[in-house]
């Protein structure tokens, strides 16, 4: 957080949370990926995820995370890309918790669709079309605010501490409680876009997403015991600071737009 959970894209006095140095450049019809600043490393305060525990998790080669929305479409953050267009330069890695494992599934992208109207504030979602389907479970999206409370799970390959820059290929997981807009605004004020963003974090600090986690899902179980995505890792001030929640794209706000966009890919 002073992180876009993308290292150097300064938005609303906070960095987005992707491990990258610049924005993605769109030239003609070819989308260029962000240059990586450091090898991805895991969630702050997390513990190792078991193999196949979160089979929908995806690591993206520009230093972001994501989740399988369809078997050939990854949902990630808009700030991880810059515009919409065709590209084969992004590689999605799935099927493993260790990115160096021999069983890793690697698939190139064919197209990126950034949220229409995205300008660096709110609407922080994007879709990446893959060259072929990945035969793994997808992650269902919340379509209303019913599940936007309680305790959420976060997982990713992002930094283990603020500006850590250390390398690890292991997927870590953690749990963070919902933080109401009113409480979240005590720190962020008007920078928080209520209705488009949802906050979560441990009051004492020590557990959070961080650089390199951008675009990854925040999720929980629904009433039937199935995983449901309620947020997309977006931004915040620093990482895991006391009384400073993480800010996530509120998936339920955009679920219909995401479905319409995915149908065009």
pLDDT in tens, 33-54: 333 332 233 478 889 999 999 9
* Mean pLDDT, residues 131-159: 96
| CB 55, CB 27: distance < 8 Å | no
Alpha helices in the chain (DSSP H): 181-188, 251-262
Confidence (pLDDT) at 4 = 67
Domain 1-265 part of CATH 1.50.10.100: no
Catalytic residue among 72, 82, 124, 237: 124
Q: Is residue 29 very low, low, confident or very high in pLDDT (cuts 50, 70, 90)? A: very low
Catalytic-residue membership of 79: yes
Helix (H) or strand (E) holding 166: none
Confidence (pLDDT) at 166 = 59
* Nearest alpha-carbon partner for 172 in 107, 216, 230: 216
Confidence (pLDDT) at 6 = 54
pTM across the whole model: 0.88
Of 186-195, 204-213, 220-229, the range with the lowest mean pLDDT is 204-213
* Mean pLDDT, residues 92-98: 97
Catalytic residue among 84, 214, 234, 252: 214
Reply yes or no on whether the pLDDT at 86 is more than 90.
yes
* Mean pLDDT, residues 87-96: 97
Output DSSP code: residue 113: E
Catalytic-residue membership of 214: yes
Tokens 């931004």: give the residue.
235
Catalytic-residue membership of 187: no
pLDDT, averaged across the chain = 86
């Amino acid at each position: 957080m002073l992180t876009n959970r993308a290292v150097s894209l300064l938005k609303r006095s906070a960095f987005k949370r992707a491990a990258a140095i610049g924005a993605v450049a769109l030239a003609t019809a070819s989308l260029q990926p962000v240059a990586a600043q450091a090898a991805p490393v895991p969630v702050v305060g997390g513990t190792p995820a078991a193999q196949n525990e979160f089979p929908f998790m995806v690591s993206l080669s520009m230093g972001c995370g994501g989740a399988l929305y369809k078997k050939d479409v990854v949902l990630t953050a808009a700030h991880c890309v810059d515009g919409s267009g065709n590209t084969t330069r992004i590689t999605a890695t799935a099927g493993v918790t260790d990115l160096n494992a021999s069983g890793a599934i690697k698939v190139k992208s064919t197209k990126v669709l950034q949220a229409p109207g995205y300008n660096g504030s709110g609407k922080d979602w994007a879709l990446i079309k893959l060259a072929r389907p990945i035969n793994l479970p997808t992650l269902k999206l919340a379509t209303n605010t019913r599940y936007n409370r309680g305790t959420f799970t976060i997982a990713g390959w992002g930094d283990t501490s603020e500006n850590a820059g250390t390398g690890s290929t292991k997927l870590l997981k953690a749990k963070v409680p919902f933080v109401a807009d009113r409480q979240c605004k005590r720190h962020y004020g008007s920078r928080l876009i209520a209705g488009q963003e949802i906050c979560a974090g441990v009051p004492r600090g020590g557990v959070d997403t961080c650089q390199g986690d951008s675009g990854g899902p925040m999720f929980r179980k629904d009433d039937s015991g199935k995983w449901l995505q309620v947020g997309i890792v977006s931004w915040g001030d620093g990482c895991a600071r006391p009384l400073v929640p993480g800010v996530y794209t509120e998936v339920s706000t955009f679920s219909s737009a995401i479905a319409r966009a995915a149908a065009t890919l």
